[in-house]
Amino acid sequence: MDRKINRRQFLVEVTAAAAVLAVLKGKGEVEAETVKLTPTPTPTPTQTPGPDVTPTLTPTATGTSEPTGTPSPTATPEPGQRPNFLFIVMDDLDYRSWAQRFTPLDRRHRPYYNPDGTIVTELPMSFLQSRPGAGWTSFDSAYCVGAICAPSRASMLTGVAAGTPNGHGVTHNGEIPRLDDGNTLPVWLAAEGYECSLFGKYSFSDHRGMETPPGWTNFDLGGRATTVFTKGIDYIQGQVSSHPDKPFALFLCPTEVHDPIQLNEQYKRYNLNLADIPPNFAEADVSDKPLWIQRLRGWPQRAGSMNGRRSLVIRSLLGVDDGIEQVFDALQQAGQWDNTVIVFLSDNGMSYGSHRLTSKDTAYEEASHVPLMIRLPWLAENRAEERVVSMVDVTATIVDLADAQAGRPPLGRSLAPLMAGPQAAWEGIVYLEGHGSEKRPVYRGLRTGGDGIGRFSYVEYPATGETELYDLSADPYQMQNVAGQPEYAAIQLLLAERLAFVAANGVQPS
């Protein structure tokens, strides 16, 4: 497509398309200033939403799960103050498992009861999700660029996609030589005087037995959460405590919850109930899906086996949560709690049987939707943000807060204004890509949900000419592909144009 577009023009045309769609759906007049692209076709039985898995966050001493006043308008630290950064990067943790409430069971598989007679339910990471302290933003619609370990982590450290112009080039796992280690986030931070350390997983370049890559002062690979967090605590108690005025960026990257899953001893006999099965599990009718999914044969997994695996994941997270609490305690004891930006996220999600899939590397919600929490210690309130954001927005945020200079044209935008308060404008359109394998084709797509635009998932498969479009407001489990349907034609065209622009330029339109 050769028609040039910019962000303002795109939103104007999207609003017009929404108005047309609303009329087609019999919704009558639509106010141009408030319209959102959220058409609601009559749901079919297969579109019935499953149990709500949105976490109910426990109130803290200084804030609640929703803003209770006017948040501080300060999006950045005080002039001259350079915050520290603590990253906790999980492996293969999908949003649903992170947000899934579960019922603890005793040895006879009976639930526990609260004093009021209700059954006790918990969150997998109850300490972290209580948002200790203030200044936390829970991004409930965060997406990775590529839903597979190495490409996703490369995007995290570069702020760009793999296959677009100026991309990092890491399209698959195991591509050791692809990433330019000399042009990544730790290099940019080190140029501003930061001491950067990584303990744990660094999946796209194997430096075991080799020199430390550029930008890193400490670089210690491998380890489950217990080992990784212990090394992080030792670093905080040693180097940080002895040099309190030197800013640091500490990356703690355990291999949880990647297979093989290991449990802390106290949780090995911990029983829990995960009764809910999403309606897209082992999806019965995949005639609207790409041919590669239709050709899947011999579906062996049953609901019980998938829930068994997710039970292991959640029990593993209980141990991770314990370790995070210890890391936070170390920050407080070192006097760095009030000057440390904390980022918790995952590289990608996992399918667990949705759409007949058991792994990742797709644009479907289960694989691309990830948990993301960020704490800015100078903000007074905790809040939840529903608008769509990307992992590369996190990279842009760190560059912004550190007042650093990125060595690549960014695909994302800083989240700092968005965290300062809900009044900040946010477009909510993010880029997705996957570079295929022997069984699945290359894809590229968009996930939308922001100011003036509703919640859509749009994906193209260039090699096969197939397209998927899901209206997630009506079909959150992506069971009815509406690509090619006349009432969605205008929206599909606009999303196709926007996708073509990002794929061709490697940046969002200005």
Q: Is 466 inside a domain boundary? A: no
410: β partners: none
As given in the structure block, the two tokens for residue 401 are: 């807060």
> Would you say residue 326 has pLDDT above 70?
yes
Q: Is 486 inside a domain boundary? A: no
CATH of the domain at 113: 3.40.720.10
Q: Is 502 inside a domain boundary? A: no
> Would you say residue 391 has pLDDT above 70?
yes
Q: Is 270 inside a domain boundary? A: yes
As given in the structure block, the two tokens for residue 481 are: 């592909």
Which one, of 374, 375, 350, lies nearest residue 364 by Cα? Answer: 350
Residue type, 419: M
Q: Is 40 inside a domain boundary? A: no
- Residues sharing a CB contact under 8 Å with residue 365, sequence separation 6 or more, in sequence order: 95, 349, 354, 457, 472, 476, 477, 478
pLDDT at 191: 97
- Residues sharing a CB contact under 8 Å with residue 288, sequence separation 6 or more, in sequence order: 480, 481
Place of tokens 């692209």: 37
Question: Range with the lowest mean pLDDT among 11-20, 80-89, 204-213, 415-424?
Answer: 11-20
Which one, of 334, 340, 341, 335, lies nearest residue 238 by Cα? Answer: 334
> Would you say residue 47 has pLDDT above 90?
no
Q: pTM for this structure?
A: 0.85
> Would you say residue 5 has pLDDT above 60?
no
> Which pLDDT tens digit goes with each residue over 149-190?
889 899 999 999 998 988 888 877 776 557 888 999 999 999
Q: Which of 25-29, 62-66, 218-222, 457-461 has the highest mean pLDDT?
A: 457-461
Q: What total of structural domains would you count in the chain?
A: 1
Q: How far is CA 99 from the centre of its chain?
A: 12
Q: How far apart are CA 279 and CA 380, in angstroms?
A: 40
Q: Is 259 inside a domain boundary? A: yes
Place of tokens 């991770």: 320
Q: How far is CA 139 from the centre of its chain?
A: 8
Q: How far apart are CA 349 and CA 358, in angstroms?
A: 11
Domain that holds residue 178: 83-425
Mean pLDDT for all residues in the chain: 83
Q: Is 181 inside a domain boundary? A: yes
Q: Which whole-number Å values give the CA distances from 405 to 83, 186, 335, 441, in the listed order?
A: 16, 11, 28, 36
Which one, of 424, 428, 377, lies nearest residue 73 by Cα? Answer: 424
Is 188:214 a contact under the CB 8 Å cutoff?
A: no
372: β partners: 345
Mean pLDDT confidence for 394-410: 96
Which sign, positive or negative, has the C-alpha torsion 400, 225, 345, 347?
A: positive
pLDDT at 218: 94
Q: Is 242 inside a domain boundary? A: yes
Q: How far apart are CA 153 and CA 140, in angstroms?
A: 20
Q: Beta strands 248-253 and 84-90: pairing type?
A: parallel
Is 104:318 a contact under the CB 8 Å cutoff?
A: no
> Which pLDDT tens digit goes with each residue over 289-325?
999 999 987 666 667 778 788 889 999 999 999 999 9
Place of tokens 């959640």: 314
Q: Beta strands 369-370 and 142-143: pairing type?
A: antiparallel
Rounded to 10 degrees, what is the CA torsion of 407, 413, 419, 423? 150
Is 147:369 a contact under the CB 8 Å cutoff?
A: no
Which sign, positive or negative, has the C-alpha torsion 175, 180, 181, 186?
A: negative
